[in-house]
Structure 1
Amino acid sequence: MYKDVTPDRWSRVSIEAVSKAGLMSGYPDGTFQPEKPLTREEMASILHRWMFRNGLFDDILPAVMPSIVMVHTGTNLGSGACIANDQEGSYIITNNHVVGLNTTFTLMKENSENFPGEIVVADQHNDLALIKTAKTLPPLKLAEQDPALGEPVAVIGAPAGLIESVTVGIISNLSRQGGKWLQLDAPINPGNSGGPVINERGEIVGIAVAKIVGEAFEGLGYAIKLQVVKDFLARVADKIR
């Protein structure tokens, strides 16, 4: 990212994370100058950006929400997001453990009538599934690359059946579950499973899948990585007309 920040520099990961989050930037000559002293006014500028970090998603959420659904099987509920559509409707991505053995579903949105969906394909190994609905929804874009360590993300879904709920956090680790999952500190609860994890541009960077539960644990959520999602969609591309 910066020509004076070498791959083996101890602070490289932190420098890249704060740069991608928009908290700090380099100099016009392509350097970061990591050993340069920080003035009080520069620190004030950084803290000012951090104070307004929680509003990072305000502008893009209204455009993202129309793509989000709650998936109800009759006995189980989860979340999903539209990732493609055609003349006959839309395709919703979610978790395999949300759909289970069911083949038909009730899809729900806030302040809208419920509408039906049916299974297209499920991948138990990677815990992903694709649902088709006749209702036309705007598709979300998949990000071109994985998020950076420390990058802000938002999780959107229906925890406890609370449709179109948003929680915000950062990427805490880039490789869990054998490299297939991301770790994040944004709150994830039952009902969030299958919902999208988005970046500040409203692009999908992962699919919420699990959390560690226990009194001693907090902020340990997981999402299926972007590349796993892309590989799944590539394998089932013939089913998306």
Structure 2
Amino acid sequence: MMYSAGKRVRRRLCGGLAALAFMASATALASPAPPNLTVDKSFGKTAGWSIGYSEALGGCLAAATFGDGTTIWFGLSAVRGNAYLAFTNPKWRSIAAGDQYDLRLQAHGQRQGHGRWGGTFVGFERGEARGLFQSGLRDNFVADLSNAGAITVEFEGRPIAKLSLVGSTDALDAVLGCQKEFAVEKAKSTGPAPARRDDEGSGSGRSSQGTGFYVSEIGHVLTNQHVIDGCSAITVTRVGSAPIKARLVAADATNDLAVLDTDRATPSAPPLAMRARVGESVYAFGFPLNGLLATTGNFTVGNVTATAGLGDDTRHIQVSVPIQPGNSGGPLVDQYGNVVGVIVSKLNALKMASLTSDLAQNVNFAIKTTIALNFLEANGILAPLNTRTSDPMTADTIAERAKAFTVRVNCN
């Protein structure tokens, strides 16, 4: 698998976005100069992908190497702008650093369907290997990439590599967590107040975004205190509706809860169950990674893994449901459609990696509904209760119901 003599591509991009939408537009061409693709700090592996940080590119990356020697790289770069994709192989000796090459990618897999994309990559060297690199990809490129089961790389009409993307969703989670961690560290070194936990709350009047859900038919919304901390103006937005103003009714910094009033009646307040059971299926609906993932909300599935949180904190339950920044304050729902927790935080995987040389996966936490109910009752709000007398629902039904009572919370 070796490239023939590299020719400089002078024509415009042909083809375009299909099911696999990697680029924002035809203006996202190859970088004008070869990249310095370094890994200066490693954070171990997750789902077969190596996770690291590149000083030269100013961001975090994931890489996986295959039997034919090809390595696929994707990551986020403050230097090159947005996301990037790269391929390297020691056998590709004909690639010249700085030259541009026309590549085609064919996506495969049931999760993504089938899609083709054509684009221009720049050649570069990395040690004994030669590679192809494209940057300036749109923000949600990595999310699209992780949804493909595999890709075939074609050069001059012939396939040169077929690469599995199994585990890339977990790798994307790790890259985003890494990127956020380094953003916090940079903020610490340059002066602004750092985030207090793995959250979206900004404090000090800066804008932030999280999730909340209705807890009364007269329009009360429950969220995390850290989501609205320091806000001068708050709005909540239901999928398909315009933002509406909300005012803070009460906040509990100790238990990280806050309740808002929207003055807007709603029939969508879900019942709250008194407890969650270890092993039962649970679901999260929220609005993570603002500007990167879908604005229509994100639905994830997992299990209750423990009925206590970090350090045996009895206020929390531990869940394996994947969550991201922006999920904070959202509902954790059981298979009967009841809310059994309020999403609050995730384990700091990078700090754990520095201690254990491995990345912790899907170790996330929610505030128990008993804590939330006590908080609401203390502020004169009686949320509906449920004793689980109904039959279990299908996941798609739970997702539709959760979408109806969950809102995006914006703080300015």
**TM-score w.r.t. length of structure 1:** 0.64
Q: Does 1:76 align with 2:208?
A: yes
Q: Which runs of 5+ in 1 are unaligned?
A: 1-70
Structure with higher RCO (Cα < 8 A, 6+ apart) = 1
**Residues in 1 aligned to 2:250 and 2:373: alpha-carbon distance in whole angstroms:** 15
Q: 1:220 aligns with which of 363, 371, 377?
A: 363
Count, aligned residues: 166
Contact 1:120 1:239 in 2 (8 A): no
Q: 1:141 aligns with which of 266, 271, 287?
A: 271
Question: CA-to-partner distance for each residue in 1:89-130, whole Å, 9 max, x for gaps?
Answer: x00000000010225312122222111111010000100000
Q: Secondary structure at the match of 2:321?
A: coil
Q: Any residues of structure 2 matched to 1:77-116 within 5 Å, and which?
A: 77-86=209-218, 90-116=219-245
**Residues in 2 aligned to 1:212 and 1:198: alpha-carbon distance in whole angstroms:** 20
Q: Does 1:202 align with 2:331?
A: no
Contact 2:342 2:367 in 1 (8 A): yes
Q: Identity, % of aligned pairs? A: 28
**Residues in 2 aligned to 1:196 and 1:98: alpha-carbon distance in whole angstroms:** 14
Residue type of the alignment partner of 2:285: I
**TM-score w.r.t. length of structure 2:** 0.38
**Residues in 2 aligned to 1:108 and 1:134: alpha-carbon distance in whole angstroms:** 13
Q: Which runs of 5+ in 2 are unaligned?
A: 1-200, 351-358, 384-412
> What is the CA RMSD across the aligned residues, in angstroms?
2.2
**Residues in 1 aligned to 2:269 and 2:220: alpha-carbon distance in whole angstroms:** 8
**Residues in 2 aligned to 1:153 and 1:125: alpha-carbon distance in whole angstroms:** 25
Runs of 4+ in 1 over 3 A off after TM superposition: 71-74
Match of 1:232 in 2: 375
1:239 shift after superposition: 9.8
Residue type of the alignment partner of 2:251: A
Contact 2:216 2:381 in 1 (8 A): no
**Residues in 1 aligned to 2:342 and 2:232: alpha-carbon distance in whole angstroms:** 21
Match of 2:306 in 1: 173
